[in-house]
Structure 1
Amino acid sequence: MKITMNTNKIAAYVFTAFACMVFSSCDSFLDQQPLNQPTTTADIFKDRVNSEKFLFQCYSYIPRYWLLSAAEGYPWSAASDESDITWSHDVHKMNNGSWNANDIPYGKWQNNYQGIRDFNYFLQNIDMCKELSSKEIAQYKAEVRFIRALIYVNLIRTYGPVVILHDDLLELDKEYLLGRNTFDECVEYVSQELTEIADILYPEQNDTNLGRPTSGSALALKAVLLNFAASPLFNTDTSIYAGWKSNITGKNLMPTTYSEKKWKDAAAAAKAVIDLNRYELYKDKATDGSDKIDPYTSLYGIHYQKWNSELIFGRHMTFGYTEAEARDFVYLITPKVFQNNRGSVSVSQKQVDAFAMSDGTYPITGYSDGSPEWNGKDGRNPIIDPTSGYSETGAENFTHPWDKVSTLTYKMYINREPRFYMSIVYDNLRWVYGSNLSKSEIIDYGSGGSSYEPYGINHPLTGYTPRKFTFRETDPSSGYVFPLWPLMRLAEIYLDYVEALIEYDYQNPDVLKYWNELRTRAGVPNIEAVYPGIENDQDKLRQMLRRERQVELFFENSRYFDIRRWKIAEITNNNVPIYGMNITVDDGAPNNIGQTDFWKRTPIYRGNRTFLPKHYLYPLHQNELDRNKVIEQSWRW
Structure 2
Amino acid sequence: MKNSFGPLFIVVFFAGSCNYLDIVPDNIATVDNAFKLRSQAEKYLFTCYSYLPKHAHTGNNPALLSGDEVWFYYPYKNIPVFRPPENWEIARDNQNILNPYLNFWDGYKGGISMFQAIRDCNIFLDNIDKVPDMTSRERARWTAEVKFLKAYYHWFLLRMYGPIPIIDQNLPVSSDITEVQVIRQPVDECFSYIVDLLDASADDLPETILNPVSEMGRITKPIVLAIKARILMNAASPLFNGNTDYSFFTNAEGEPFFNQQYQPEKWQKAADACLDAIEASHATGHKLYYFRPLVDVYNLGPELQTQMNIRNTLAEKWNSEIIWGSTNSMASEIQAQAQAILDPSVGVTGAKTTGAHAMYAPPIKIAEMYYTANGVPIDEDRTWDYHNRYEIDTASLEDSLYIYPGYETAKLNFDREERFYAGLGFDGGVWYGQGKYDQEDLYHLEGRLGSYSGKSRGDQYSITGYFAKKLVNFLNVIQTDATYQVQSYPWPIIRLADLYLYYAEALNEVGGPSPESLKWINMVRERAGLTPVEEAWPAHSNNPEKFTSQEGLREIIHQERLIEMAFEGGRYWDLRRWKEAERTLSQPITGWDINQENPIYYYQPVLLFNQSFEMKDYFWPIREHDLIVNKKLIQNPGW
TM-score (norm 2): 0.84
Task: Name the residue aligned to 1:382.
Answer: none
Q: Is residue 233 from structure 1 mapped to residue 239 from structure 2 by the alignment?
A: yes
C-alpha distance after superposition, 1:125-149 (max 9, x if no partner): 1122212211111101111111122
**1:332-371 equivalence runs, <5 A:** 332-336=337-341, 337=348, 338-339=351-352, 340=354, 341-365=356-380
Displacement, 1:460? 1.6
Q: Is residue 91 from structure 1 mapped to residue 97 from structure 2 by the alignment?
A: no
Task: Name the residue aligned to 2:109.
Answer: none
Change (3 A) 1:193 1:295: same
Measure, in 2, the Cα distance between the counterparts of 1:229 and 1:167.
Answer: 24
Measure, in 2, the Cα distance between the counterparts of 1:491 and 1:392.
Answer: 32
Change (3 A) 1:400 1:181: farther
2:562 to 543, 547, 550: 550
Displacement, 1:538? 1.5
C-alpha distance after superposition, 1:272-293 (max 9, x if no partner): 1122333321124697999999
Q: Which segment is superposed worse, 287-296 or 404-413? A: 287-296
**1:202-213 equivalence runs, <5 A:** 202-206=206-210, 207-208=212-213, 209-213=215-219
Measure, in 1, the Cα distance between the counterparts of 2:455 and 2:40.
Answer: 49
C-alpha distance after superposition, 1:390-410 (max 9, x if no partner): 643322235677689646252
Task: Name the residue aligned to 2:3.
Answer: none
1:520 to 522, 526, 545: 526
Measure, in 2, the Cα distance between the counterparts of 1:119 and 1:525.
Answer: 47
Measure, in 2, the Cα distance between the counterparts of 1:386 and 1:60.
Answer: 51
Q: Is residue 270 from structure 1 mapped to residue 274 from structure 2 by the alignment?
A: yes
Displacement, 1:521? 0.6
- Aligned 8 A contact 1:397 1:408 in 2: yes
Displacement, 1:481? 0.2
C-alpha distance after superposition, 1:147-179 (max 9, x if no partner): 122212211111111111113346499641110
Change (3 A) 1:598 1:301: same
Change (3 A) 1:113 1:478: same
Q: Is residue 191 from structure 1 mapped to residue 215 from structure 2 by the alignment?
A: no
Measure, in 2, the Cα distance between the counterparts of 1:405 and 1:597.
Answer: 20
Q: Which segment is superposed worse, 286-295 or 265-274? A: 286-295
**1:157-168 equivalence runs, <5 A:** 157-168=159-170
Measure, in 1, the Cα distance between the counterparts of 2:239 and 2:555.
Answer: 16
- Aligned 8 A contact 2:433 2:475 in 1: yes
Measure, in 2, the Cα distance between the counterparts of 1:472 and 1:293.
Answer: 12
Change (3 A) 1:510 1:128: same
Measure, in 1, the Cα distance between the counterparts of 2:400 and 2:451.
Answer: 24
- Aligned 8 A contact 1:452 1:458 in 2: no
- Aligned 8 A contact 2:455 2:595 in 1: no
Q: Is residue 302 from structure 1 mapped to residue 313 from structure 2 by the alignment?
A: yes
Task: Name the residue aligned to 1:374.
Answer: none
Change (3 A) 1:189 1:350: same
C-alpha distance after superposition, 1:280-337 (max 9, x if no partner): 211246979999994223223312332222111112xxx356xxx7432222111255
Task: Name the residue aligned to 1:408.
Answer: 407
2:390 to 389, 392, 395: 392
- Aligned 8 A contact 1:361 1:388 in 2: no
Displacement, 1:508? 2.6
Q: Which segment is superposed worse, 46-55 or 181-190? A: 46-55
Displacement, 1:355? 0.7
Measure, in 2, the Cα distance between the counterparts of 1:510 and 1:432.
Answer: 35
Displacement, 1:629? 1.3
2:43 match: secondary structure? helix
- Aligned 8 A contact 1:4 1:170 in 2: no
1:501 corresponds to which letter in structure 2? L
**1:170-189 equivalence runs, <5 A:** 171=173, 175=177, 176-189=180-193
TM-score (norm 1): 0.84
Measure, in 2, the Cα distance between the counterparts of 1:431 and 1:49.
Answer: 48
Measure, in 1, the Cα distance between the counterparts of 2:449 and 2:404.
Answer: 24
- Aligned 8 A contact 2:310 2:419 in 1: yes
Task: Name the residue aligned to 2:51.
Answer: 61
C-alpha distance after superposition, 1:377-396 (max 9, x if no partner): xxxxxxxx442356433222
**1:41-190 equivalence runs, <5 A:** 41-68=31-58, 70=59, 73-86=60-73, 87=83, 89-110=85-106, 111-169=113-171, 171=173, 175=177, 176-190=180-194
Q: Which segment is superposed worse, 451-460 or 485-494? A: 451-460
C-alpha distance after superposition, 1:212-257 (max 9, x if no partner): 1111111111110111111112223x6111021122x542111111
Measure, in 1, the Cα distance between the counterparts of 2:475 and 2:85.
Answer: 31
- Aligned 8 A contact 2:241 2:258 in 1: no
Displacement, 1:454? 6.2
Change (3 A) 1:169 1:457: farther
Q: Which segment is superposed worse, 108-117 or 464-473? A: 464-473
- Aligned 8 A contact 2:394 2:405 in 1: no
Displacement, 1:270? 0.5
Measure, in 2, the Cα distance between the counterparts of 1:170 and 1:104.
Answer: 30
Q: Is residue 200 from structure 1 mapped to residue 204 from structure 2 by the alignment?
A: yes
Task: Name the residue aligned to 1:584.
Answer: 595
Identity %: 28
Change (3 A) 1:543 1:172: farther
Measure, in 2, the Cα distance between the counterparts of 1:92 and 1:603.
Answer: 18
Task: Name the residue aligned to 2:79.
Answer: none
- Aligned 8 A contact 2:403 2:444 in 1: no
**1:279-290 equivalence runs, <5 A:** 279-284=286-291
Measure, in 2, the Cα distance between the counterparts of 1:474 and 1:134.
Answer: 45
Change (3 A) 1:351 1:169: farther
Task: Name the residue aligned to 1:592.
Answer: none
- Aligned 8 A contact 2:504 2:517 in 1: yes
Measure, in 2, the Cα distance between the counterparts of 1:402 and 1:135.
Answer: 54
C-alpha distance after superposition, 1:84-123 (max 9, x if no partner): 2334543343234332211311111121100000111111
- Aligned 8 A contact 1:437 1:472 in 2: no
Q: Which segment is superposed worse, 291-300 or 39-48? A: 291-300
1:392 corresponds to which letter in structure 2? Y
1:222 to 218, 228, 233: 228
2:549 to 532, 537, 559: 537
1:46 corresponds to which letter in structure 2? K
Change (3 A) 1:572 1:3: closer
Change (3 A) 1:136 1:62: same
Q: Is residue 259 from structure 1 mapped to residue 257 from structure 2 by the alignment?
A: no
Change (3 A) 1:401 1:231: farther
2:104 corresponds to which letter in structure 1? K
Q: Which segment is superposed worse, 467-476 or 386-395? A: 386-395
Change (3 A) 1:290 1:394: closer
**1:463-478 equivalence runs, <5 A:** 463-476=465-478, 477-478=483-484
Task: Name the residue aligned to 2:571.
Answer: 559
**1:594-613 equivalence runs, <5 A:** 595-604=599-608, 607-613=609-615
Measure, in 2, the Cα distance between the counterparts of 1:100 and 1:170.
Answer: 34
- Aligned 8 A contact 2:369 2:559 in 1: yes
Task: Name the residue aligned to 1:380.
Answer: none
Q: How many residue pairs align between the two structures?
A: 581
- Aligned 8 A contact 2:593 2:606 in 1: yes
1:103 corresponds to which letter in structure 2? N
Q: Which segment is superposed worse, 79-88 or 99-108? A: 79-88
